[in-house]
Amino acid sequence: MKIKDIKTGTKLSLEVFNQLDEKIQDNLISQFESLVGNDRIIIYAPITKGKLFPIHIGWTINVMFFNDENLYRFQAKVINRFTVNNIPFLEAVVTSSIERIQRRAYFRLQCFIPVEYRVFSKDNNDEETPFKKCVAINISGSGLCLKMKEELNIDDIIECKFVINKRELKPICQVVRVESEIADFHFGYMIGTKFIKLSKQDVDRIVSFIFKEQIKLRRKGLI
């Protein structure tokens, strides 16, 4: 994929670094406006919580976006700031090629998603094991954090079922963290899991869902 292939209106997520290469902010939402020449881009200046986020000339931005359910990233340096019809824009020169991000755990979203699960057991027929109910309180491309009534053990293997964008996903997960939630009278345990069996297409669906939800939250000024 090349810069010229990015379409006007494509939603962007920005990581911002100052001239000392210190990260200032991440997950800022922007939008692609146009390409100038071969290597200069015009994007909307990001707004967070209803206010323009200050990005200075000379700062570096990592630009991330989706295309055909794939997540891409490139780097650029801000060279100009300007306003057209009261709309603030940034002009930046592209300083790297576009790369496809292979690490699907990049984004994590706080959520409340109903989940059904069952624990795999060596002693039982797993197909006959009934599903129990819990909720996911955050989700990423690599796993779920669940709240449930049952205490599980580290390395337990569970099958989960939940719906993303009207599609049911059925990942196989491994328990990597167990915490007791004494103050939670409904769900007594917080269970961290990682996906160990989930199709690439379903991972892409999760990452795409998270990215779009973050854009909605930015628009509402909630993040």
Closest CA to 94 of 153, 39, 152, 33: 39
If you average pLDDT over residues 96-105, what whole number do you get? 72
User: What are the residue ranges of helices labelled H in the chain?
Assistant: 200-219
Summarised one tens digit per residue, pLDDT across range 105-146 is 457 788 999 999 999 876 555 667 899 999 999 998 889 999
- Banded model confidence at residue 104, pLDDT cuts 50, 70, 90: very low
Give buried/exposed letters for 120-144 (b at 16+ CB in 10 A, else e).
eeeeeeeeeeeeeebbbbbbbbbbb
- Banded model confidence at residue 70, pLDDT cuts 50, 70, 90: confident
* Res 69: pLDDT: 64
* 3-100 CATH fold: Pnp Oxidase; Chain A (2.30.110)
Q: What is the distance, to the nearest Å, from the Cα of residue 155 to the centroid of all Cα atoms in its chain?
A: 25
* Res 216: pLDDT: 72
Token pair of 179 as six digits: 């915490």
Between the CA atoms of 13, 18, 19 and 21, what dihedral angle is there, to the nearest 10 degrees?
A: -80
If you average pLDDT over residues 138-163, what whole number do you get? 93
In whole angstroms, give the CA distance from residue 90 to residue 52: 12
Q: Is 206 exposed, middle or buried (0-12, 13-18, 19+ CB in 10 A)?
A: buried
Positions of CATH 2.40.10.220 in the chain: 108-208
Who wins on pLDDT, 211 or 6? 6
No. of helices (H) and no. of strands (E), the chain:
1, 16
Above pLDDT 70, what percent of the chain?
A: 89
77 Cβ contact list (under 8 Å, min separation 6): 58, 59, 60, 61, 92, 93, 95
Closest CA to 4 of 74, 80, 102, 69: 74
Positions of CATH 2.30.110.10 in the chain: 3-100
Read off the pTM.
0.59
Pick the CATH number of 108-208 from 2.40.30.30, 3.40.50.2300, 2.40.10.220, 3.40.50.720: 2.40.10.220
